[in-house]
Chains A and B, each alone.
Chain A
Amino acid sequence: MSAILRLLFLIVSLSPGLLLLAWDGSLSWTLIDGVRLSLTLTPLAGFFMVLLAVAAPLVALPMLRRPLDWSSLALYVPLVLGMELLLLAGDFISFFIGWEIMTWSSYLLLLRSPRADLETSQSYILFNLASAFLLLAGILFYYSLSGDFRIGPLAGTTFGQELILAVLLGLAFLIKVGTLPLHIWVPSSYDQAPDLFSAFLSGAISKMGVYGLILLLTLFPDALTSLAGRLLEGPAAGYLLAWIGVVTSVVATYKAIAQEDMKRLLAYSSIAQVGYITTAIGVGSSLALAGALYLALVHTLVKVLLFISVAGIVLQTGQRRFKDLGKLIERMPVSFFGVLIGIIGLAGMPPLPGFAAKYLIFVSLVDARWLLLLAAMILASTAAFIYCYKLIYGPFLGHANSPQAREAREAPLIYLVPQVILMALLVLFGFLPGLPVQVLIDPVLVALGMETIGGASWAELTTTYGGYDGVVLMLVFIIAFVLVTGIFLLLRGRMHRAGSPYDLSYAGEVPTEGTPLHYGAGMGRELHRIPLVGWILRRGTRGFYLGLAGQMRAAAALLGSLYVGRPQIWILIAVVVFAASLAAQSMLGGL
């Protein structure tokens, strides 16, 4: 029985992939009078379905580790199915249904974590429901404009109507992707969610907001060129969106550096990465959209990889803070490589595909002549190196800082399999940066009526500004590495390992076991002394939202005082209201 259920669970997790292979045609039926649901698979949705098809089974696999949490498995099923519905939706109602199923099932999954506290779970669900209700409001407004729920370009609308629609839907999706200042729910929920589920939250669910943003562009046929005019070589409306994205990335990157907890760091890093995607969507050219999609793909691979690796560390050590870990490189080598490949992809370093994505976005910014945006993006993207380094140094290098870290063992096989698959995919795309472009991205661009950017071969990534060849790059680097290492080993002389980990040149002193030698917690603290960074790090939106919640409670208390338990007051109010309205009527109309 249990085996069958687990098999069913796996099949559901594989269903996005199966759907991609098997789906053709469309489905349609009436929900209620005048509301017709229809399911089709557009190329754009197909791209995001690919992301889901990668993330869903890879996250599902480690969830099958014993002891099984049946409730989590059961909730994962509607989550995945809801997201499929969301992507298959050919009309806004099925889109909304899928969106909401995703929202509540992910919330209930979040509750499965014993660490989730009330503030976090409330902020998660309230922000996501606010997003959903804004979405619904936008959908209803769309319906009043077009008379139909089907997703398609609008025609004959005024600028004001377009603006209302864009604001409603845009806010909904921006909450979901977690841009500033609507991001407050992201870090704590990614942090406190069950460790494996965080991978899905960051890898798959946040991408649905990206899907929505791109879908929003398709509603206005001319949004990419002329909604609110043009600025330099790009759309003026997108300029605002792009700045929102970039400011989000910068702030989130510094917040990530300041974190002392692995999952919180990854959460802020997710916000920053999705910020880049938002920027690219704002640019709106075919290069930029390709960059956005590419980055979405890479971010899914990288974040699922990193969150699963981190989940493995937490599973084996029970520690999640940088200061409590260290030196796991020898005890968890596979996880080390997982995180290493992950951060190289995350930092956008060549030769892994993170660079290809960033390259496209950078070039698109230059092409649009939005150089100040580019500078801000470079700021975030370079500062990201610091948190990437912290992420690998804290747990894996330095000195082991807790008994658990000293005795940890490699994560279980069921955690390692997805990591190895993801690493292989990342390296493959590093060799062939043009492969995702030609296979996954170009069809989307064609469907959106834009120029394709695929090059002559899978190895090449080409743009009008020039490109690069992944195979050559990778081979040069590998050959250089092999040569250097070989020559080095051929040289005369011996190498031997330090006798003890305390055999260090430590300011002329001899460190002992009691000397604080791990730099995991303090790393990046000196950044506070840089005026701009210090200013950013001192700010936060939590106070504002807590204040808002406090005001709501105060209003509840005030209104609640009307509901007293004394019947004479009830009667009094009824009579007074009656008399008052009668008096008002007589005054107005005359009895």
Chain B
Amino acid sequence: MHAVVDSLAMIGVSYVMGFLFYGFYRQFNARVQRRWGPTIWQNLFDNMKFFFKSETLIHGPMFFFGPMIIMAGAFTTVLFVPFLKDSDWLQGFSQYGNLILIIYLLVVGPLGNALAVGSSGNPFGVMGVTRGLTRLMGLEVPFFLGLAMVMLQHETASVHAIMAAQDSLAHWGIVTNPIAFCVILLPFIGSQHGAPFDVVGAPVEVYAGPRVEFGGRLLGVLMTQRMMMSIAKLVLLVDLFLGGATNILVLIAKAFSLFLLTTVISMVFPRLKTEQAVDFFWKVPLGLGVLGVILTVWLPSWSA
């Protein structure tokens, strides 16, 4: 019973945080561009509107099941990320999982969706999927390298244990392992579909991207899962680098500050093409990561 309530609570929290954060993002973005922008609730309204559309066009059964898989993937991901530390609540099934599992779970849903895009028969959709996978290939390398540095630092892949080790500000991951945080930050923005790495699915003159064929309730599903996934990833970084959170308010505050940081970075860069993005990930963050490995792993081992 506890598990059921807890799971529902986690899904609810991540959904609410999701539309609020993205609502804020839209308004913030507008203010930077000297517009008024929509209200902070706009994302909720949009989402609800999609869910109550009366017509939904599908292209075969796989086209329908793809969004279901991605949604199930999002739920599973959320449930395997611990939201709070030292608490019985908002834990989901995180004690049965670990960091590497979460990283891979992040990808399960999108691949399920890729099947749906493929079965729609729209070549622009498939092109978008390929671009998405290419970007993933680019960002995952530095992202995982940064995570590996964290895992090595704490000698565990368990998010709980990593959180527990950061008992005071001085022990926060961002303080004890700043290189890993810097390595992860830009790929993280990429994985959040943030600018400047947002060419996949970005509005262009010929609309292309994974969502090109989706409409109605299916599009609603895709929107929901994206918001929830974003929150899951934010919370994960909070757990790893910002010492986790003991209650929901601290969690929101920490996640929000991280969100603000990424948003600010996103706003000042022009969009990159896919291959430019990949090349960038492999040069700057990965280069930094290699440097970090040499500094934190190789040098101590040689001097010892």
Q: Is B118 interfacial (CB-CB < 8 Å)?
A: yes
Decide if B107 touches A385 in the complex (CB within 8 Å).
yes
**Which B83-109 residues have a C-beta within 8 angstroms of A?**
93, 96-101, 104-105, 107-108
CB distance from A458 to the nearest CB of B (A): 14
Say whether A493 contacts B216, CB under 8 Å. Answer: yes
Interface check A18, CB cutoff 8 A: no
Asked if A393 contacts B60 (CB within 8 A), the reply is: no
The A40-58 residues at the B interface (CB cut-off 8 A) are none
- Which of A348, A495, A504 is B213 in contact with, Cβ under 8 Å? A504
- Of B27-35, B128-136, B163-171, B264-272, which binds chain A? B128-136
CB distance from A279 to the nearest CB of B (A): 15
In B67-94, which residues have CB < 8 Å from any A CB? 68-69, 71-73, 75-76, 79-80, 93
Q: Could you tell me the distance in whole angstroms from the C-beta of A323 to the nearest C-beta in chain B?
A: 12
Q: B68 to A379, Cβ gap below 8 A?
A: no
In chain B between 18 and 74, which residues have their CB closer than 8 angstroms to a CB of chain A? 51-60, 62, 64-65, 68-69, 71-73
In this assembly, does A143 line the interface, its C-beta being within 8 Å of a C-beta of chain B? no
Question: Which residues of A have CB within 8 Å of B52?
Answer: 491-493
> For A349, what are the chain B residues with a Cβ–Cβ distance below 8 Å?
104, 107-108, 111
Known contacts A363-B157, A467-B98, A507-B206; is-contact A488 B59 (Cβ 8 Å): no
Q: How many residues of A are counted as interface, with CB atoms below 8 angstroms from the partner's CB atoms? A: 79
Which residue from chain B places its CB closest to the CB of A477 in the assembled complex?
A: B76
Query: CA–CA, A245 to B293, complex, Å?
Result: 21
Asked if B5 is at the interface of the complex by the 8 Å CB criterion, the answer is no
- A160 contacts the other chain (CB 8 A): no
Interface presence of B256 (CB below 8 A): no
- Does A67 sit within 8 A of B, measured CB to CB? no
Question: What is the CA–CA distance of A359 and B99 in the complex, to the nearest angstrom?
Answer: 10
Interface residue ranges of A451-477 to B (CB < 8 Å): 463-469, 472-473, 476-477
B145 at the interface (CB under 8 A from A): yes
A167 CB to closest chain B CB, in angstroms? 27
Residues of A326-341 whose CB lies within 8 A of B: 327, 329-330, 340
B59, B72, B73 interface centre (most CB from chain A within 10 Å): B72
Q: Is A315 an interface residue (CB 8 A)?
A: no
Residues of chain B within 8 A (CB-CB) of A350 are 101, 104-105, 108
**Residue B286 interfacial (CB < 8 Å):** yes
- Main secondary structure on chain B at its contact with chain A? helix
Task: Tell whether, in the assembled complex, residue A371 and residue B98 are in contact, meaning their CB atoms are under 8 Å apart.
Answer: no
> Which residue on B lies nearest to A359, using beta carbons?
B100
* Minimal beta-carbon separation of B42 from chain A (angstroms): 21
Q: Judge whether B79 and A476 touch: CB under 8 Å.
A: yes
Distance, CA A488 to CA B219, complexed state (A): 12
Inter-chain CA distance A347–B108, complex, in Å, is 10
With A375-B289, A399-B121, A494-B54 already in contact, the answer to whether A472 and B93 are too (CB < 8 A) is yes
Identify the stretch in B146-154, B230-238, B239-247 within 8 Å (CB) of chain A at 4 or more residues: B146-154
A496→B217 CA distance, assembly (Å): 12
> B207 touches which one: A365, A386, A505 (CB < 8 A)?
A505
Q: Which of B51, B278, B279 contacts A491 (CB 8 A)?
A: B51
Closest Cβ neighbor of B130 among chain A residues: A523
- In whole Å, how far is B284's beta carbon from the nearest beta carbon of chain A? 14
Report B285 CB to chain A, min CB distance, Å: 11
**Chain B: CB-nearest residue to A354:** B104
A371 near B120 (CB under 8 angstroms)?
no
Residue B141 lies at the interface, judged by CB distance under 8 Å to chain A:
yes
CA distance A468 to B93 in the complex (A): 10
Asked whether, in the complex, the Cβ of A469 is within 8 Å of the Cβ of B207, the reply is no
Check B101 against A493 for contact (C-beta < 8 Å).
no
A243 within 8 A of partner (CB)? no
Which A residue's beta carbon lies closest to that of B208?
A: A507
**What is the CB-to-nearest-CB distance from A322 to chain B, in angstroms, rounded to a whole number?**
12
Q: Does A3 contact B (CB under 8 A)?
A: no
Which residues of B have CB within 8 Å of A468?
A: 96-98, 101
Give the 3 A-B CB pairs with smallest separation, nearest first: A397-B118, A466-B158, A481-B72
Give 23 A-B contacts (CB < 8 Å), ordered by A residue. A344-B111, A365-B148, A374-B148, A375-B290, A385-B137, A389-B111, A392-B115, A393-B126, A396-B118, A397-B115, A398-B126, A466-B158, A466-B161, A473-B96, A477-B76, A483-B75, A493-B53, A493-B54, A504-B122, A519-B126, A530-B275, A530-B278, A531-B279
A466-B161, A505-B212 known, 14 other contacts, Cβ within 8 Å: A349-B107, A371-B297, A374-B144, A378-B144, A386-B133, A388-B111, A484-B75, A493-B217, A498-B59, A501-B59, A504-B213, A506-B122, A518-B123, A524-B130
User: Which A residues are within 8 Å of any B CB, using their own CB?
Assistant: 232, 327, 329-330, 340, 344, 347-350, 355, 359, 362-363, 365-366, 369, 371-372, 374-375, 378-379, 382-383, 385-386, 388-389, 392-393, 396-399, 463-469, 472-473, 476-477, 480-481, 483-485, 488, 491-498, 501, 503-508, 516-519, 523-524, 526-527, 529-532
